[in-house]
Structure 1
Amino acid sequence: MTTIIIADDHPVVRCGIRTLLEDDRNVVVGEAADLPQTAELVERHRPTLLLLDLSFAGTSSLDLVPRIRALSPRTRILILTMHDDPELARDSLAAGAHGFLRKEAVAEELVAAVDALAAGRRYLDPALGAALLDRDPGLDTTLSKREREVLALIADGLTNRQIADELRVSIRTIEAQRASIKLKLGVSRRTELVTCARQLRLTA
């Protein structure tokens, strides 16, 4: 069971996220309306995931991220925001968050992000991932098994749609994984991805 705390200063947003996520796999164990309450609930429940709004009444929540990591090292943090600035995504990941997603994302993306973090992976909003091409030294550069599969298929010349069909997942999932691969490897072009795949012996 994945336990979740939702931290957002808008009750309607918290209610919507709870309604979307709660099922036989996920349970929301707490909701926080401000940063002190967020820290208190995380310390009390030690949840699997914290869904954390980037801004509370104009105050950034990123300063809280290291404290959350210290209070509950196993809790994984997904930053949610209305902003679409790639640098905010970079800052969030550098601060210690495990994922970054715009609130305007479709429901499928939020579910995918929650599933990815619960499985120990990272998740980066597909629309922002392509803009974060420079590798951040603080990020994990190890490709997951699925990312290696995606990279191999990219090197074989398949499009995102063809890869999605091959792996039986949504095209948005492939876009997110492709963005994550670029971020981890510090590359921007398909030719560079092919070179990396060869270096990793994923393709001939």
Structure 2
Amino acid sequence: MDADRVTSGESTPQLTVVLADDHLVVRAGMRLLLSQDPAFDIVAESSTLPETFLAVRRHHPSVLVLDLAIAGQSSLRSIPELLEASPHTRILVLTMQGDPAFAREALRGGAAGYLLKEAAAEELLGAARQVAAGATYVQPSLGAHLAVADLATSRAGADDLLTAREVEVLSLLALGHTNQEIAGRLHISVRTVETHRARIRDKLDAETKADLVMAARERGLLP
């Protein structure tokens, strides 16, 4: 392990940190930045996954700053195991991987934060403070991409939820047609229209016609 120390005495800060990255220069930069806040104490550094597990098990740090690629190995799938080894540790991923899919997978695995190495120095310090305080932090630019991707997913899910006939009924309802008019246009009975309407209402969790149309539009089912 590149560095491994435990501070002692009354000078020991409240929040302990382990830095996991296989680049010495990167770790030195992180150490310098985090040392600006007296609340943080870098108790260990690691350059491989086995070293990271050893440091986490030994120190149970408040924060683990973790690269997703360490010495040729992906640490993404190790996040749940690291948390199992130290349940109270908050993991802040610091990586070059800007793909929202990696961020989503890391957060699902239990990471408390996701930050790109291109971020400003102050952002790393702020992110570390936030995750240590129990919050979740995602780099704003990446968070926007995640929000768009999640919205697209929810829209696709809602579209799959309704049948083709229900989408037709919903579209006509949004245009202001009555049940009788919809029945005539689709060549079905009024009772069938009412049944479709009830099913649509249940699926979209919308009570009134206005709620139903709004829910459909929010999910991308209507223009």
Q: TM-score, normalised by structure 2?
A: 0.59
Which residue pairs with 2:182 in the alignment?
none
Q: Which runs of 5+ in 2 are unaligned?
A: 1-13, 154-213, 215-223
Q: Does 1:61 align with 2:75?
A: yes
Q: Select 2:59's aligned residue among 34, 45, 53.
A: 45
User: What is the number of equivalent residue pairs in this alignment?
Assistant: 138
Q: Does 1:82 align with 2:86?
A: no
Aligned pairs for 1:87-126 within 5 A: 87-126=101-140
Which residue pairs with 2:34 in the alignment?
21
> Kindly, what percent of the aligned residue pairs are identical?
50
Larger deviation, residues 47-56 vs 21-30: 21-30
Which residue pairs with 2:49 in the alignment?
35
Output the CA distance in 2 between the equivalents of 1:42 and 1:66: 13
Higher RCO, Cα 8 Å, sep 6+: 1
Output the CA distance in 2 between the equivalents of 1:42 and 1:59: 17
Structure 1 residues 98-120: Cα deviation after superposition (integer angstroms, max 9, x where no partner): 10000010011101100101110
Output the CA distance in 2 between the equivalents of 1:80 and 1:15: 14
User: Residue 68 of structure 1 aligns to which amino acid in structure 2?
Assistant: L
Structure 1 residues 37-95: Cα deviation after superposition (integer angstroms, max 9, x where no partner): 00000000000000000112332101211111111100000011112111111111011
User: Residue 19 of structure 1 aligns to which amino acid in structure 2?
Assistant: L
Q: Which 4+ residue blocks in structure 1 deviate beyond 2 angstroms? A: none
Output the CA distance in 2 between the equivalents of 1:14 and 1:58: 17
- Answer yes or no: is the 8 Å Cα contact 2:17–2:63 preserved in 1: yes
Q: What is the root-mean-square deviation in Å for CA atoms of aligned residues?
A: 1.8
Q: Which runs of 5+ in 1 are unaligned?
A: 137-194, 196-204
Q: TM-score, normalised by structure 1?
A: 0.65
Larger Rg: 2
Q: Select 1:4's aligned residue among 17, 22, 38.
A: 17
What SS does the aligned partner of 2:94 have?
A: strand
